[in-house]
């Protein structure tokens, strides 16, 4: 990553039954830093920046799930915070939906979890 590049964290919002997460790129991105590094400033207005202002993320939810607690950890020398969805009752099968916006449409992926009790 070019020297002096700033990164921004993702936004995570937990409600009673969902976890919504997204990231919005600022107007100045690694694209601009690369243009500077490559000494292409004179051509900046002719170049398309595919990262400027881009928003991406999704929402995770499921029937009979409620938001649980948060937790913290370290992964690859990076601190992180996690959010839990907790089932309200025991069941042999749970289903979660991961909804992801793609262009102007939202695509959903159904995640089925089959629970097996250890004997």
pLDDT attached to residue 71: 94
pTM comes to 0.70
pLDDT attached to residue 91: 85
Minimal CA–CA distance to 97: which of 108, 89, 106? 108
Strands (E), 1-119: 11-14, 18-24, 55-61, 65-75, 78-87, 93-102, 105-114
Per-residue pLDDT of the chain (119 residues; tens, 9 = 90+): 556 666 778 899 999 999 999 988 888 888 888 899 999 999 999 999 988 888 889 999 988 999 999 999 999 998 999 999 999 988 888 888 888 887 666 666 666 666 555 55
Report domain extents, the chain.
Answer: 11-114
* Cβ-Cβ contacts under 8 Å for 117 (sequence gap 6 or more): none
* Cβ-Cβ contacts under 8 Å for 72 (sequence gap 6 or more): 79, 80, 81, 82
pLDDT attached to residue 51: 86
pLDDT attached to residue 79: 92
pLDDT attached to residue 101: 81
pLDDT attached to residue 111: 63
């Amino acid at each position: 990553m070019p020297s002096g590049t700033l990164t921004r964290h993702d936004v995570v919002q937990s409600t009673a039954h969902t976890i919504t997460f997204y990231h919005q790129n600022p107007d100045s991105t690694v694209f601009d830093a690369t243009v500077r590094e490559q000494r292409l400033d004179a051509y900046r207005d002719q170049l398309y920046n595919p990262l400027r202002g881009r928003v991406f993320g999704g929402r995770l939810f499921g029937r009979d799930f409620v938001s649980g607690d948060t937790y913290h950890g370290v992964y690859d020398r990076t601190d992180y915070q996690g959010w839990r969805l907790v089932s309200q009752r025991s069941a042999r099968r749970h289903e979660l939906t991961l909804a992801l916006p793609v262009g102007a449409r939202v695509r959903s992926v159904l995640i089925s979890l089959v629970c097996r009790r250890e004997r």
